[in-house]
Copies of this chain bind each other. A is one copy, B any other.
Amino acid sequence: MEMAKQGGKRVGAGRPKGTNQYGETTKPVRVPISKVDRVLRFLREREDELPLYGHSVPAGFPSPADDYAEGALDLNTYLVREPTATFFVRARGDSMLGAGIHDGDLLVVDRSLEASDGKVVIVSINGELTVKRLRQAKGETWLIPENPDYPSITFQEQDDTHLWGVVTNVIHSL
């Protein structure tokens, strides 16, 4: 059977612009093979803009998939200001309960911040990592636990004592 031609102008025909999955134009970026899947997940799940809600709720029952009335939050950007100077430490014990640090919490530590008076810091004492609050007074530097059951120590009284960085955030799992 012969097919008849179906010619003629098709003004305005064709796939409309912006009908891709992102709603905007894309461009190729070189990604190391091992990170391709991670980057695709990053883009697919929009991990850099998860919804943030405040205290009041919009009318009805808003969905996280909606546009976020209270804004979007990027966890990495929020928690890590200086990626090359940031690391994590697992907290142990309850010597810093007063600062909201529980046993097993994950601490975000920034080495680029200045460890000034009052900051919560990570120090290694004889090969052991501990969390303490730094106090500088009368020319002396003290490491003070936030729990009266534990003793304070001076920074200099230990031989192998190194200041690792300043704790910026505490991540507590429920």
Contact = CB atoms under 8 A, between A and B. Distances in A.
B22 A26 contact: no
A27 B38 contact: no
**What's the dominant secondary structure at chain A's contact region?**
mixed
A27 to B, nearest CB: 6
Contacts of A128: 55-57
Given A52-B90, A102-B100, A75 B76 contact: yes
A53 B174 contact: no
Contacts of A124: 57
Contact of A76 (B54, B76, B89, B169): B76
A135 interface: no
A133 B28 CA distance: 47
Interface string A100-138: 101000100001000000011000100111000000000
B29 A29 contact: yes
Given A33-B25, A53-B129, A172 B173 contact: no
A33 B26 CA distance: 5
10 contacts: A23-B32, A26-B32, A39-B42, A46-B83, A51-B88, A54-B129, A64-B84, A100-B100, A100-B102, A170-B172
Interface of A: 22-36, 38-40, 42-43, 45-48, 50-57, 61, 64-65, 68, 73-76, 78-80, 83-90, 92, 99-100, 102, 106, 111, 119-120, 124, 127-129, 162, 167-174
Given A26-B31, A169-B174, 12 more contacts: A22-B32, A22-B35, A24-B33, A26-B30, A29-B29, A29-B31, A39-B43, A45-B84, A50-B87, A53-B129, A64-B85, A100-B172
